[in-house]
Structure 1
């Protein structure tokens, strides 16, 4: 749970002040500020007004009654850090472990920050897909223990339904990796189901029309479509990955190509492209691996060419959006930021990462087949 001390520390760092500088401004010792931030002590109530003024915030924000809308901005910055770590790492396992180490350091600094806690659980869940690697296997017991502890904190104390839901989702995979299917199902059952006709998305568009009119209803309908597209794409990708791990190459190809057809259908609605881009790349990756498992080099090369063409198409569309204020207004700040990072260098890095995975599992010949 985020404490008064956590909020003082965050606000002080945002202002660029040291503990000594803040103490000097409000007339206390630096040791007092240190005790407040660590939770070893609490400021007297008479200090709240000077603190709020010095930190250019409100008493309600310091006490946690008024939440700053910084989650989206903080998550964008975190994603940038993940991308930097991924680029600097030599393998997917090294990248995953480095991300978890970075999150652990941030959690030590700010123990009550739910974004870092939930992100740790999500990255632990992502690591479960790499447990065939020795480095991942060795680190897993301690990572799993921390993921469960951090996930429990988020579920019990966070007041943001999105992060709670994401944490339940991630913990289902964490427990699944250890074959603790009872605990995994407990978290699965906390997630919403599309089988219900009472999902909020099924009513929200009509409610918005009744309250605000058809223009706002269309915005909500588009937002719902984006979420459904992402959910369907994720299900297809995970199914394809599960099949390929079990060396069922023909079935992987079938479901993968079906997934690509669906994505191309979704992308006819341009606003859905940001919710399809990554899945498009990763589904094609599983198809290419299936081709190589079947020793169908011709198909692998053809699918690699299609993947590169699709990534170029996404890049071209993003450049069109970024060149127009009117087009940018259709997307969230997070989506626009991700479009800006989708550079030609980014595309080359992602393609090279796929080639390195191919090289790791199929050797230099397969790498050369696609890289040439």
Structure 2
């Protein structure tokens, strides 16, 4: 099949119109039409954008992958099995020895290039590679550049930035390691998180944990601000539909808070306070909507959150946690317990609307 026929085949598989594909790669729909009718060919610089838009390899788009190659790759995947960062020298050696010959014969295969890069980096970490640093830099960059040039999956590209950055660090190329890491979108992790990954790969678990906590604290602050703003937005809604909208948004915020409240060293006081305030509001809202069971459930969560807060508040060793540090206080510290008691009392009064919960209220 010609490249034009391949483009047409994969475009239809993705469900794109010619115009939609053209917009994705920054050309006219007429250009796509010419390619598909073999009246013209895409420029070499457009092959990778085309492959990414169609989510196929450049080799497949160019018709360079035959059935024998496909079968060989299937066998290779089976022989390698699941592979993540390996700390075992023998396993890394086995994987590299399987993948490297295939890559030498198929130097545009980004999948195998990544496996070679990852397993070679593992071998470098174990100190069992009999090559100069210059040779290792060149080899690692060859694998990484293959991924950057031919890979269409964003996750795999970002993993490659991490692994090549780790390789640079192992070879003492700190400046290159830092610059490479900066190319990673923050959605995949901030610099502190990737430092935790490096430490974990080097088996420095205490440093990895410290970096995890630092990265977590930064994100928890951001989530905290988002929750505060979302609540302010929800409070602008009125009427019955507005109340239903507030409840739905508050449930969403509660899920986010719970995801970030894992207790222990991670206990962020600001978000605990937010959780208590939020649950109090939800008790009131569900009472107004007549949802007795959910109102009671929120009240139970409210009391538990209060108890968790007091436990941390009274323990000097936990007072200065990851979120509650100098310059990041949310109101006056000594006023918080009184305010929390007011929230709980308010919620309990609301629940008295439901006489069937009289016994439950005594047990809370």
User: Which TM-score tier does this pair reach, normalised by the shorter chain?
Assistant: 0.3 to 0.5
Q: TM-score, length-normalised on structure 2?
A: 0.35
What TM-score comes out, normalization by structure 1 length? Answer: 0.34
Whichever structure has more helix as a proportion of its residues is 1
